[in-house]
Each structure stands twice: as structure tokens, then as C-alpha cells.
Amino acid sequence: MKKMMLLCSLFVLLQVSAFGQAYMPYVDEVRGDTLVIKDYYDMGEVPNSLYDAINADSIDVPAGRVYLLKNYGWYPVTSNPVSKQGVKMIIMGEINESLKKSQNADGPAVFSGYVGESTNSIGNLNSGGDLLVKNIIANAGNPAGELGWTLFGSSANAKLTVENCILEHNQWVMINPSANSKITFKDNYIVNLVGHPCRRNGGVIDFFSNLDSIVFENNTVVNAQGSIIKYRSGYQVNRSIINHNTFVNCAGYIMMNIGNTGNISLTNNLFVNSNVQGYCSVFQTEDAGEVDAEDLPMGFVNVIVDSASAVNGYTFYANHNATYWSPIWDDYISTLSTGNINGTSDWYSQRIKMNSRSETMFADDATYPYLTNGTWIEGIQPNFTDPADLYTTQLDLVKAYALSCVNTASSESLPNWRLVSTPVEDLFVFADFPVPVDLSYDNAELLTGANSGLPVGDLNWFPAEYASWLTIKAQENANAHTALYTGVIPQDPTDVEALEMPASSYRLDQNYPNPFNPSTTITFAVPEAGNVTLKVYDVIGKEVASLVNGQLAADTYKVSFDAASLSSGVYLYTLSVGNFTQTKKMVLMK
């Protein structure tokens, strides 16, 4: 009985403490460390409840404080919320499932700017320390159709994670982070990056200082006019991971990289009718600082030899990406050239993986051993389950925009793409929901084209495969890191198969078939658990593949080796476990 009375007293004290807090006028309910924030209508059509709640929440703020925004609640602001230093804070909506696939009747919470009698705002969410924003619709605009330059911000050394949100509109990019920030965008649906007459504007990340990291993973970006991620000359990012994203009808650069920013892995992405804007030498002046320094067209991968890249390191890893451009683009460059746009007929396509200089550097392993290019899948149109009009009307609009915006006199922006019946006056507040497309597909080669035989592109469109990917994500990232800083592409983490055949001694079998073209299977046995490596070398001793590198239990294993990227010849493969080492020869005959 005494214990029960003590628990009841503690509960009452907690409730009294909570309801004595200054944030209570803006809070509907307190659930432990979670504050359920009143929306615009709960507040009697008064904005700023989220901003006011965060500012008033100043006494004993718990680490991991959650500000929960209610389904389809509207949370406009006239002042921009900033998370506190030293405390991880979370702003999140109630729908805790992929917003790309969700059919929730209520719809996500909406964050935006506001139109008031005395002042208008466009709304920003800013990280002062460690901020996670998830499960909401967020928009750099207000109901009057006014657009902000950015939607998110960060203080120096801050961390910002934007996860499972629907993000729409800006005049520039989603974020211009401060020095040494850690920026992560994952699982988002990003649409309609339009609204400014500068063809280079309308993207996600741009920066003017060194950053700690950029992670851009499992996002879908649809209908964007500008450069999605901008790597400017003179600024270093310690590590960039661009992995498993889907880009559809993105007119500008996917990665605007002058070429001297390294430490980038570009893997498992799907590029559809993107990177299409043509290039001419006039842009060296017109787009100064956002074009290739040697006046070459810029593809998805770009590297250059200069003093900055020597400092940053010649490191870039590209693998398992897929590209597709519709035949509608076949006459694009000739149309610009014959039209003498900008007074020149020297127009060049940027629908390329990389330019000639970058190709030469990637091929020079002796000088640039950490420039590593794996496989690309090219020319396969994804058979999207429901593309709506992305392959028809919208593709025509993207081409029309791409033809017009490269004229230096152009003041056009890419038109918005809206399919759900959303009132025009709400254009810059409420996004299309449910998401009006399904970008899953059934193309066999694309379905198994990524690491570990998974689909290329955003895995949120494939829930079962996404769940499988989560189990190997850490190993996949480790393999990308290995490839980036050794120049050796490790075997996919699921390609080592345990045969459940106990072994009495260490053994390395002859590969089969042998000779082979282009793949073969290697079987080996380990009688005791240990750290196992199985590596492939050319005849001069250079490592060309790492098939196994990690802890394995006692068993017999087989692993496949795909040598599609290698030249014909004799190769050596070596098994090492503790003090045991054995090497055999195999012959690749193409």
C-alpha cells in the first residue's frame, strides 16, 4: 500500500511540475518527455505555437525532447524555431510510416510560413545543436505564394537530420549549413524545387564553409530545376554518402561539383531524365563558380587536378548507379546549336556519367588509386507502377524549361507539378498527399542492380527490400568506405554463403568454372571461427577485389566473384585466417 501511495504521489508531482511549465499554453498534452503541440486552430487561429513552445521549454529539458505535431495540424510560424544547444530535440509528426507509401486519411502535420496583418514569414526550422525533424510536411513558403530561400538552418558544429518528410519549394536550396555541420536527409519525398528565375536555384544543399558530413540516402526527388547538391570550390566535406536515391525530371546538376571535393561515395542511385541542362562556354562567365573549371560539361561524377583537390584528396567512389534518358532528349543539343542560343553553336550534353578529363583520371590507377568507378546500368526506362504523367506531360514541361532556361536572358522557372486537388491559395502550404505516384518498378535488371542484389534507387518504394537493406546497411557503408580509401571494391555483404558443412581443416578450393567469363565461384572452409579475408590480386600483386573481410563462424563457404570490370588474364586469390594462408590461380578469359 505504501509503495502504491508513493507511486501515486510521484505521478501527481510530475503532473504538477509539467503543468507548471511555461510551455503549457502551447501544449495539448504531456506524454513523458513528449509535448503534444497545439496547432493553429487549437490556438484560436494564432500562429507560432511550435516556436513559442520551444522557447518556453527551458527548465530541465530532457535529452531527446519530442515536440509532437498532430496529424494534419497546421503549424505556421512568424518566428523561426531554433533547437537548443546541448540537448537532442525532435520535431515530429504522428504518422510513423513511410509518407511515400502512407494512405493515412488524416495526413501529416504541416509546417510553413504565415501571412499576417502586419508581417509575412516563410518559415525556417533551425538546429542549434542536434535536431531531428521527421514525419511532417514542411514548406519554405506561405499561403500568399511567397517563397523563402531555404527551409532549414544550422549553427556551427550542429547536427540536423531530416527524415521521412515531404519537402516542397524554395528559391535556393533546402539548407545552407554552417561550418562543421553534420547534415542528413533520409527517406524524404522532395518535390517542386522551383520558383526562382535562376536555373541553378532549386536544390537541397549548398554551402560556403567546410562541413563534417553530408548523408543523402533513400530520398526521392521529383521536379527540380536547379542543382540538388552543390560542392563549391574551396570547401571540404569530410565524408559524403549519396546512396539509394531516386531522381526523376530534375533539370539541373544532381551534384554540382567543381571537381576538387573528394570523400564522396555515389552508390545505388536511380537517375531518370535528370542532369539534362545543356552546357556552353558562355556559362564560364554567366554561371561563374558553378561550372567545370576547364570548360567541360559536367556529368554525375566530376574530378579535376588542382591545388584544392590535392589538399582534399583525389577520392571518389561510384558504383551500382542507373541512368535513363527518354528519346525526347535526342534532339536537345542540336536544337540549342542550330538555334544559336547565347550566340553559340557549341553546345554540349551533360547527360553523361563523367567528362573526358574525369574518365582519364579514373583510368589512371597509378596516379589516382582512390578514384574508383564500378558498374552502371544504362538505358533502361523504369517501369514505374504509377508514374502519373511524369513520362508524358511533365517530361514535356521539363524539356521546354531546359530549352529556355539555358538562354542567359531567360527569367523562367520550372512549373509546379501538382496532381491532388489542392486549392491554389494553399499551394505553398499543403503538399500533394497521399503522394500521387508509386515509383516502385518491375524491371528485372534494376530490381537486382544495387549492392547485394537489391533494387537501385529509393528503397522506400520497396518495403520488404528496405527492411532487408537495414540489416546490411552498416556493412554496406563499411564496404563503401573501404572502396573510397583503398580503391578496392569489396564483395557485397550477402554474397558469402554458409553451406552448413563442418570442416576439419582449413581449405581453399579451385574456383569453378576456370577459366571463367565474367563470374566464378570460390569455395573455402574454416574449422574455427576467426577473422577471414579472401582477396584477389593481379599478377603484379595489386589487389583488385576483396571478397571476404570479416568474422566468420566455423563452416564451409562459397562466394561468387564478378570480374566484369577486369581485363582478361591470370589472377591470384588468397585466403587468410590467423596463421593460415593459401593462394591459387584463376584465369579470366573474355
Neighbouring C-beta atoms of residue 542, cutoff 10 Å: 13
Model pLDDT, residue 349:
98
Residues contacting 206, CB < 8 A, separation 6+? 172, 173, 176, 227, 230, 232
Q: What 8-state DSSP symbol labels residue 24?
A: G
* Closest C-alpha to 204, from 232, 179, 172: 172
* Closest C-alpha to 309, from 244, 376, 357: 357
Distance (Å, whole) CA 368 – CA 359: 11
CB 119 within 8 A of CB 144: no
Residue found by looking up cell 552498416 in the block: 474
Distance (Å, whole) CA 382 – CA 378: 11
Distance (Å, whole) CA 543 – CA 488: 7
Q: Is 279 helix (H, G, I), strand (E, B) or coil?
A: strand
Distance (Å, whole) CA 205 – CA 431: 21
Distance (Å, whole) CA 415 – CA 413: 6
Distance (Å, whole) CA 319 – CA 144: 44
Q: What domains are there in the chain, each with its CATH number?
A: 1-189 (no CATH), 195-415+442-479 (no CATH), 495-588 (2.60.40.1930)
Residue found by looking up cell 511555461 in the block: 22
Distance (Å, whole) CA 223 – CA 393: 12
Model pLDDT, residue 116:
87
Q: What 8-state DSSP symbol labels residue 44?
A: T
Bridge partners of residue 154, in order along the sequence: 127
Helix (H) / strand (E) element for 212: namely strand 211-217
- Residues counted in the chain: 590
Distance (Å, whole) CA 84 – CA 244: 32
CB 153 within 8 A of CB 172: no
Looking at residue 518, its amino acid is P
Longest dimension (CA), the chain: 91
Model pLDDT, residue 343:
96
Distance (Å, whole) CA 313 – CA 261: 8
C-alpha cell read off for 161: 537530420
Residues contacting 310, CB < 8 A, separation 6+? none
Torsion 322-327-328-329 (CA) sign:
positive
Distance (Å, whole) CA 49 – CA 67: 11
Looking at residue 368, its amino acid is Y
Tens-of-pLDDT digits for all 590 residues of the chain? 444 444 444 444 444 455 568 999 999 999 999 999 999 999 999 999 999 999 999 999 999 999 999 998 999 999 999 999 989 999 999 999 999 999 999 999 999 999 987 788 999 999 999 999 999 999 999 988 889 999 999 999 999 999 999 999 999 999 999 999 999 999 999 999 998 999 999 999 999 999 999 999 999 999 999 999 999 988 999 999 999 999 999 999 999 998 888 899 999 999 999 999 999 999 999 999 999 999 999 999 999 998 877 777 789 999 999 999 999 999 999 999 999 999 999 999 999 999 999 999 999 988 999 999 999 999 999 999 999 999 999 999 999 999 999 999 999 999 999 888 665 556 568 889 999 999 999 999 999 999 888 999 999 999 999 999 998 898 899 889 989 998 888 877 667 889 989 899 999 999 999 999 999 999 999 999 888 999 999 999 988 888 988 778 899 999 999 888 788 999 999 999 999 999 999 999 98
Distance (Å, whole) CA 58 – CA 519: 61
**pTM for the model:** 0.88
Distance (Å, whole) CA 30 – CA 204: 34
* Closest C-alpha to 505, from 447, 568, 580, 573: 580
Q: What 8-state DSSP symbol labels residue 188?
A: -
Bridge partners of residue 237, in order along the sequence: 211
Q: How far is CA 477 from CA 450, 470, 498, 532, in A?
A: 13, 11, 22, 19
Distance (Å, whole) CA 309 – CA 315: 9
Distance (Å, whole) CA 196 – CA 144: 16
189 phi and psi angles, rounded to 5 deg:
-110, 110
Distance (Å, whole) CA 394 – CA 382: 16
C-alpha cell read off for 437: 505516384
CB 141 within 8 A of CB 147: yes
Model pLDDT, residue 20:
67
Distance (Å, whole) CA 364 – CA 305: 13
CB 516 within 8 A of CB 587: yes
